[in-house]
A and B are shown apart, each in its own frame.
Chain A
Amino acid sequence: MLSLKNISKYYQIGGNKSFVLNNVSLEVEEGEFVSIMGPSGSGKSTLLNIIGMLDEPSEGYHYFAGNAVHQLKEKQRAALYKQYVGFVFQAYHLIDELTVYENIETPLIYQNYSGSDRKAIVADMLDRFQIVGKKDLFPAQLSGGQQQLVGIARALITKPKLILADEPTGNLNSKQGIEIMELFAKLNKEDKVTIIQVTHSEKNAGYGSRIINLLDGKIDSSIKL
Chain B
Amino acid sequence: MFKINIKLAIRNLFKNKLYSTINIIGLSTASAFCILVYLYIVNEQSFDSFHKDGSQLFRVEQTDIFGSASRLNKPNKSFFSFLDKDAGQLNMIQTPTVLALDLKSNFPEIENAIRITGLGAEIIRAENKSFKEKENNLVYADGDFFKVFNYPLITGNANSVLSGRNQAAISERLALKYFGTVNAVGKTFTMPNQTNLPPTTVSGVFKNFPLNSSFQYDMIVPFESNPDYKDNLARGTDSFSDLLIVKLKKGTDYFKFSQKLKTFSWKYFSNVVKVMNKNQPDKKYAKMDMYLRPFADAHYNQSAGWDHFTDLSSIYQLAGIAGIILFIACLNYILLSLTNTVARSQDVGIRKTIGSGKFNIIFQYYTETQLLACASVLLGLLMAIICLPVFNSISNTNIQITTFSLGSIFIGLIILSMVLGLLAGIYPALAMAGLKPLSSMRSFSTYRVSPLLSKFLVVLQFSICTILIISTLTINKQLLFMDSADLGFNKDQVLILQSPYGWQDKKAPKILKERLYNYSLTDPGIQDFTSVSIYYGGYNNNAFLINNNKVYLQALDVDYNYFNFLKIPIIKGRNFSKELGTDTIKINTESIRTAKTFSLASRAVIVNETLYNLLGKPKLNEMNLQMGGPIVGVCKDYHAEDLTKKIEPAYHTVERYAPFSYWVKIKGGTNLPAEIERIHANWNKLTNSAPFDYTFLDQEVAKNYEAYQRWLKTITAACFVAIIIACLGLFGLSGLATLNRTKEIGIRKVLGASISNLFLLLNKSTIMLITLSFLIAIPFSWLLVNEWLENFAYKIKPTPELFIVAGIIAVVTALGAVSYHTIKAAVANPVKSLRSE
Chain A residues in contact with chain B, CB under 8 A? 45, 49, 54-55, 78, 81-82, 87, 89-91, 93-97, 106-107, 110-111, 154, 158, 166-167, 170
Contact = CB atoms under 8 A, between A and B. Distances in A.
Contacts of B405: none
Contacts of B747: 93-95
A55 B748 contact: no
B559 to A, nearest CB: 79
B757 interface: yes
Contact of A110 (B446, B743, B752): B752
B836 A89 contact: yes
18 contacts: A45-B836, A49-B831, A54-B750, A81-B752, A82-B752, A89-B834, A93-B750, A93-B834, A94-B747, A96-B446, A107-B752, A110-B748, A110-B751, A110-B753, A110-B754, A111-B752, A154-B751, A167-B836
Given A96-B446, A107-B752, A110-B752, 6 more contacts: A91-B837, A93-B743, A106-B748, A106-B751, A158-B752, A166-B836
Contacts of B757: 110
Ranked 7 nearest A-B pairs via Cβ: A110-B752, A82-B752, A107-B751, A93-B747, A90-B836, A110-B753, A54-B831
A108 to B, nearest CB: 9
A9 to B, nearest CB: 11
A90 B834 CA distance: 10
B746 interface: yes
Nearest to A46: B831
B483 to A, nearest CB: 52
A216 B751 CA distance: 30
A95 B748 contact: yes
B830 interface: yes
Contacts of B754: 78, 110
Interface majority SS (helix, strand, loop, mixed), chain A: loop
A91 B743 CA distance: 11
B752 to A, nearest CB: 4
A89 B836 CA distance: 8
A54 B751 contact: no
A78 B757 CA distance: 13
Contacts of B446: 96
Interface in B730-762: 743-744, 746-748, 750-754, 757
Contacts of A96: 446, 744
A54 B752 contact: no
Contact of B746 (A93, A158, A167): A93
Contacts of B750: 54, 87, 93
A82 B830 CA distance: 15
Contacts of A49: 831
Contacts of B834: 89, 91, 93
A45 to B, nearest CB: 8
A75 B748 CA distance: 16
B577 interface: no
Contacts of A95: 744, 747-748
B213 to A, nearest CB: 66
A97 B744 contact: yes
Contacts of A166: 836
Contacts of A81: 752
A34 B446 CA distance: 34
A122 to B, nearest CB: 14
Nearest to A166: B836
Nearest to B749: A54
Contacts of A93: 743, 746-747, 750, 834
Contacts of A87: 750
B829 interface: yes
Given A49-B831, A54-B830, A91 B752 contact: no
The listed residue with most B CB atoms (<10 A of its CB), out of A93, A94, A95, is: A93
A68 to B, nearest CB: 21
B524 to A, nearest CB: 71
A106 B746 CA distance: 13
B43 to A, nearest CB: 54
Nearest to A56: B829
Interface in B351-404: none
A106 B745 CA distance: 12
Nearest to A157: B751
Contacts of A45: 835-836
Interface string B444-456: 0010000000000
B753 A55 contact: no
B464 to A, nearest CB: 30
The listed residue with most A CB atoms (<10 A of its CB), out of B748, B751, B753, is: B751
Interface in B401-447: 446
Contacts of B829: 54-55
A86 to B, nearest CB: 9
Contacts of B746: 93
A55 B829 CA distance: 8
The listed residue with most A CB atoms (<10 A of its CB), out of B744, B746, B747, B831, is: B747
Interface in B756-774: 757
B829 to A, nearest CB: 7
Nearest to A94: B747
A159 B214 CA distance: 85
B836 A91 contact: yes
B836 A170 contact: yes
A45 B831 CA distance: 10
Nearest to A93: B747
A78 B753 CA distance: 9
Nearest to A82: B752
A182 to B, nearest CB: 23
B446 to A, nearest CB: 6
